[in-house]
Structure 1
Amino acid sequence: MGKGGGCIFSKKRSTLEPSDQDPPNPVSDQPQNQTSTTVENGPLQEPRKLKVFIVFYSMYGHVECLAKRLKKGVDSVDGVEGYLYRVPETLSTDVLEQMRVPEKADELPVISVDELAEADGLLFGFPTRFGSMASQMKAFFDSTGQLWEQQRLAGVPAGFFVSTGTQGGGQETTAWTAITQLAHHGMLYVPIGYTFGAGMFKLDSIRGGSPYSAGVFSGDGTRVPSETELALAEHQGKYMAAMVKRFAPRRSFMPSDSLNN
């Protein structure tokens, strides 16, 4: 699960090689809460790996590129594993063809709403539409009413990653306006802040990303994500995995009938 080929764009394909150097990870030295468990009068049991679901919608492939590097970052943290999922498409095949949307190169699974509750951490990725999330991702959030009613996502660490066409196209507002989805579910919003270090302050090249999330500029749909943008995504994956290890053992849920009390 979570395997796939290179990134797809509207007019060409590009397979991106992994970075030769890992981005800084200031949380790597934090104490870890995941420990081995024992069975009384029995052998040691390996602890289960914590799960970070990377749930995204990608039209021309840019968000998918970030998702795959996020997974690399998550998987690099001991005891945590990333899983890639798409959300359902809401546009018809005819409309997608008119928009020159390329066919998907792999068979990543489409996630169901109930599967969200299986995650120890969540990363949601989507392109912008006029400064906020694409309707495909909004439709998916709109379908999570039963999870909200039962508070099954309360306490789950969650974050975002985004794609915009231009520098002023919503790198920050697209993530910022999505925080309401997490707030109503009681999830814990985990921004990356300036934990990427010097990479967050360089001005010598165009790059997506902000303190709110990793990000990429897509241009007219053909721009290939830069290594700086991908490295920031990988860092976000590592950072989220570390936060999941910190919070998952303490996670608690509200009773399913709490809203009626």
Structure 2
Amino acid sequence: MGKGGGCVPSKKKQPPVSDDPVSSREAAPIPIHDGETIDVATTSLEPRIPSKLKIFIVFYSMYGHVEGLAKRMKKGVDGVEGVEAFLYRVAETLSDDVLMKMKAPEKDVGIPEITAAELINADGVLFGFPTRYGCMAAQMKSFFDSTGQLWKEQKLAGKPAGFFVSAGTQGGGQETTAWTAITQLTHHGMLFVPVGYTFGAGMFKMDTVRGGSPYGAGVYAGDGSREANETELALAEHQGKYMATIVKRLAQT
């Protein structure tokens, strides 16, 4: 108080007043709709980088022939920008004792087993399996039988899918094994993507034994000792690339 009871202005400096109404106060939430706001203090302005599309290559392989196609198929998928392949095997239904008597080799422990629920995370699926009398092997059928809840809720509807197979003999199921499997996709509402004749001249090679068909890649196993030749592996790689292209195209629509 000064003389005469008058007020003496404080000599303490006041904060400068900015012409910018935002910088002169703490950033406040911006209203968007009734009851909804975005806090500018915590919202990132960095552009979002879209994650890669995922194609699951799900297979059953007793002697390694289907697995060989699957690994080469992954190379084709991974060669398409923005798409990535993941290898999974379905659960074995035979006992170790039976597998030993059938002289089945040890499975690659680096490839995990898949559960039905995990299929939801895929943008596309390629299923591979050996033939059993013109149909898929029981191990793969058992896996499809475990997808009942997904079917009930139609969680896989609209997902593109394809097949690749192994057969023991010429005329032993290269086409019918894939053809009879289409019913599994149909009930789930999935989109069957055959490779057709997009492999070009490779589909017409007659100078050597060659598996595969317009339904998908394939290999002839013979008595189990025959390995996939380069034409069969190249078709598998092409199918992976082709499927990745289709999945990418569908994602952009």
Identical-residue share of aligned pairs (%): 72
- The answer to whether the aligner puts 1:180 opposite 2:183 as a matched pair is yes
Secondary structure of 1:159's counterpart equals strand
Residue 224 of structure 1 is matched in structure 2 by: 227
Partners of 2:233 and 2:56 in 1: CA distance = 18
Secondary structure of 1:127's counterpart equals strand
Partners of 2:185 and 2:233 in 1: CA distance = 25
Partners of 1:140 and 1:193 in 2: CA distance = 26
TM-score, normalised by the number of residues in structure 1: 0.79
Partners of 1:211 and 1:85 in 2: CA distance = 24
Partners of 2:250 and 2:157 in 1: CA distance = 12
Secondary structure of 2:172's counterpart equals coil
Partners of 1:202 and 1:119 in 2: CA distance = 33
Shift of 1:60: 0.1
Partners of 1:118 and 1:111 in 2: CA distance = 11
Which of these residues, 102, 122, 125, is aligned with residue 122 of structure 1? Answer: 125
Which of these residues, 144, 163, 167, is aligned with residue 164 of structure 1? Answer: 167
* Superposed CA RMSD: 1.1
- The answer to whether the aligner puts 1:52 opposite 2:80 as a matched pair is no
Tell me the number of residue pairs that the alignment of Structure 1 and Structure 2 aligns: 211
- The answer to whether the aligner puts 1:83 opposite 2:86 as a matched pair is yes
- The answer to whether the aligner puts 1:108 opposite 2:111 as a matched pair is yes
- Render the CA deviation track for 1:33-55: whole Å, top value 9, x for unaligned: xxxxxxx8712221110000000
Residue 135 of structure 1 is matched in structure 2 by: 138
Partners of 1:150 and 1:41 in 2: CA distance = 35
Shift of 1:129: 0.3
- Render the CA deviation track for 1:84-117: whole Å, top value 9, x for unaligned: 0000000011111111111124321000110001
Partners of 2:44 and 2:228 in 1: CA distance = 53
1:11-22 superposed matches below 5 A: none
Secondary structure of 1:45's counterpart equals coil
Structure 2 residue runs of 5 or longer lacking an equivalent are 1-42
Partners of 1:41 and 1:135 in 2: CA distance = 50
Moved more, 104-113 or 238-247: 104-113
2:109 maps to amino acid? D
Highest CA radius of gyration, 1 or 2?
Answer: 2
- The answer to whether the aligner puts 1:146 opposite 2:146 as a matched pair is no
TM-score, normalised by the number of residues in structure 2: 0.82
Which of these residues, 192, 208, 212, is aligned with residue 211 of structure 2? Answer: 208
Structure 1 residue runs of 5 or longer lacking an equivalent are 1-39, 251-261
Partners of 2:251 and 2:155 in 1: CA distance = 14
Q: Which structure would you say has the larger RCO, counting Cα contacts within 8 Å and 6 or more residues apart? A: 1
Partners of 1:58 and 1:143 in 2: CA distance = 19
- Render the CA deviation track for 1:115-163: whole Å, top value 9, x for unaligned: 0010000000000000110000000000100000000000000000000
